[in-house]
Structure 1
């Protein structure tokens, strides 16, 4: 009997060791650990006032850019300031574009503001501009809806919370109070989430929200991260980060999303922006995610910007547009193009203004 117990214990220990070995190997493989850093410079300069990240950036057709800054205490990302986050606006048609902090009016707790993904919706009926912001006060997830009033002012209209919006990463607005949002994890319990990750369970999703209906619009993703919409509003793009791909969905009547295809991009991509002139998809990406979790200034996390041309065609073209080993820019999360210019944001570092011509 004692020999049997020893044998069972040895088998259990061996199985556990094998599982942990498998998990370690899988984490390194998905995180692209020790991947050779792609290098491709651009003519860029740092945007003033942005010192602690511009996690998301989006640009209106007439050249007005909105920046979400100061994300902190989110998952295991590094952060260097506990100050509340801020929103900025930047006029790309100005000869010397400079970020201007947006003043937030209305009943809103600025002290706990922790902005993440953003999206802008322009109402065709009266040209009203609405700014949607993912917010993580006290590590929670909620969506704030603002109305852009004038050059530097936002009025807070509404806070959206719902059990289905439990770990919101990014958002794309499709109406004054209507949006799609991505959940980037299944649970906040670290051990359970790690197990889900190692087992490769596709438990992340996209949620559709309207005042009259909240439901899952698409599921079965390992990590739903950035989200955006095509020029003609017919397709939704989602960065399936851990699959190193962009998933394409067709948007049908009733706000149904139907999976069309997955486009491999070969790296861990975060937010998605769409060129308003060409329809090209631009992605801010992480070339080696282990350098984010094991942050070391001597070997910093790099930045990688990917463009996907003709994403809806049978042969999309994926190209590297910017690559840096972290000594210019650490932890790129978004790349927003505008008529020959490019804004690159990060999770916790600076932001770049680049010339593509």
Structure 2
């Protein structure tokens, strides 16, 4: 009987040790952060929690999603907004667009698309009561709220990408909202997050089995959907079909906890990421003062043919928890989850 108990205890010890080792290795805990950037920090812009940034190359402006987070995930209602930055004005000042929006608003992922002279903007919104996608129109000066979309499929929506004014994809970064399931997702890498498609009338799951589905973007020229899996340290590539369903093509190993994804004019992918996920987790909970930041650029030429380049790496003393890298000409706008400022970098 004692031998059996010892054997069972040994098996349990081995399993626990394996779980801890897997968690530490797969989250970048042992990675050495060496600062790297060929360029300069042009400006620090005072705006809290500039988690997502997307750019209009046509009209030369940036749209910024900002939420003042004390901790992440939030424990109470936060108030944030969508901000406009004129990229041709080198003062890089910002303007709040959603001051007249009278609902609780804590925007997360954003997307926009232009038709004729008007933009449609969508933003993931988190309130204490529900998750939603808020839909706006923007004429270059003024923003108007059109509608709110909610659905039971919005378990933990993170980011979204528009296909047109009515259709979009969004990611759920968790399959579980609480309990042991959520714990296993975050620390064990349980792959149960997903992508949901809205066809203008109804919602349906189109991709699953993802470890923390985060940033998402659409490559119109190649008809590809890219989904960031920071817990997997990779970007997943899918072919978009006419009915909105997705066919998986491949994973791109990124070596960092990729967050939001932006696409430049040449089709390159840019992502802000978290090279040490456990450090970021501690920072987000207020237990550490900083967390490292990283920017990568991916040149994707087709299945099995890509290069991943480190553009910016720093230990978090300048800015912690980078979540997006939006390129514009020789600039990179770098947002974050919960710092008080975001960065404008200038490449050499």
Same fold (TM over 0.5): yes
Q: Tell me what 1:68 maps to.
A: 65
SS in 2 for 1:327: coil
Q: Please list, as runs of the form range in 1=range in 2, the aligned pairs for 1:324-339 lying within 5 A after superposition.
A: 324-339=314-329
Q: Distance in 2 between matches of 1:7 and 1:16?
A: 14
Q: Which moved more, 1:81-90 or 1:264-273?
A: 81-90
Q: Distance in 2 between matches of 1:196 and 1:283?
A: 22
Q: Is this contact kept in 1: 2:77–2:127, CA < 8 A?
A: no
Cα offsets for 1:36-75 (capped at 9, x unmatched): 013213311444331x221000001221110011153775
Change (3 A) 1:289 1:131: same
Q: Tell me what 1:48 maps to.
A: 45
Q: Tell me what 2:155 maps to.
A: 166
Q: Which runs of 4+ in 1 moved over 6 A?
A: 296-299
Change (3 A) 1:170 1:311: farther
Q: In the alignment, which of 71, 74, 88 is matched to residue 83 of structure 2?
A: 88
Q: In the alignment, which of 312, 319, 331 is matched to residue 341 of structure 1?
A: 331
SS in 2 for 1:192: helix
Change (3 A) 1:48 1:197: closer
Q: Distance in 2 between matches of 1:257 and 1:272?
A: 18
Q: Is this contact kept in 2: 1:114–1:137, CA < 8 A?
A: yes
* Number of positions where the alignment pairs a residue of Structure 1 with one of Structure 2: 343
Q: In the alignment, which of 30, 35, 45 is matched to residue 31 of structure 2?
A: 35
Q: Distance in 2 between matches of 1:260 and 1:290?
A: 29
Q: Distance in 1 between matches of 2:131 and 2:335?
A: 21
Q: Distance in 2 between matches of 1:281 and 1:348?
A: 23
Q: Distance in 2 between matches of 1:294 and 1:351?
A: 20
Instruction: Report the alpha carbon displacement of residue 213 of structure 1 after superposing the two structures with TM.
Output: 2.5
Q: Tell me what 2:273 maps to.
A: 285
Q: Distance in 1 between matches of 2:73 and 2:205?
A: 26
Q: Distance in 2 between matches of 1:9 and 1:159?
A: 57
Instruction: Report the alpha carbon displacement of residue 21 of structure 1 after superposing the two structures with TM.
Output: 2.3
Change (3 A) 1:157 1:310: same
Q: In the alignment, which of 157, 171, 178 is matched to residue 189 of structure 1?
A: 178
Q: Is 1:116 matched with 2:108?
A: yes
Change (3 A) 1:16 1:44: same
Q: Distance in 2 between matches of 1:14 and 1:141?
A: 44
Q: Is 1:218 matched with 2:207?
A: yes
Q: Tell me what 1:354 maps to.
A: 345
Q: Is this contact kept in 1: 2:192–2:209, CA < 8 A?
A: yes
Cα offsets for 1:107-151 (capped at 9, x unmatched): x41xx311111111212xx33201111111017421111111342
Change (3 A) 1:168 1:118: same
Q: Distance in 2 between matches of 1:37 and 1:231?
A: 35
SS in 2 for 1:220: strand
Instruction: Report the alpha carbon displacement of residue 198 of structure 1 after superposing the two structures with TM.
Output: 5.5
Q: Please list, as runs of the form range in 1=range in 2, the aligned pairs for 1:299-318 lying within 5 A after superposition.
A: 300-312=290-302, 314-318=304-308
Q: Is this contact kept in 2: 1:284–1:335, CA < 8 A?
A: yes
Instruction: Report the alpha carbon displacement of residue 249 of structure 1 after superposing the two structures with TM.
Output: 0.8
Cα offsets for 1:189-248 (capped at 9, x unmatched): 132222345554421111001332311111121121100011416111111212211111
Q: Distance in 1 between matches of 2:165 and 2:208?
A: 24
Q: Which moved more, 1:249-258 or 1:210-219?
A: 210-219
Where does structure 2 lack aligned partners over 5 or more consecutive residues? none
Cα offsets for 1:320-349 (capped at 9, x unmatched): 111111111110000000111110000011
Q: Which moved more, 1:17-26 or 1:29-38?
A: 17-26
TM-score normalized with structure 1 length: 0.88
Instruction: Report the alpha carbon displacement of residue 352 of structure 1 after superposing the two structures with TM.
Output: 0.6
Q: Distance in 2 between matches of 1:29 and 1:343?
A: 30
Q: Is this contact kept in 1: 2:156–2:175, CA < 8 A?
A: yes
Report the RMSD for the aligned CA atoms in angstroms. 2.4
SS in 2 for 1:177: coil
Change (3 A) 1:221 1:96: same
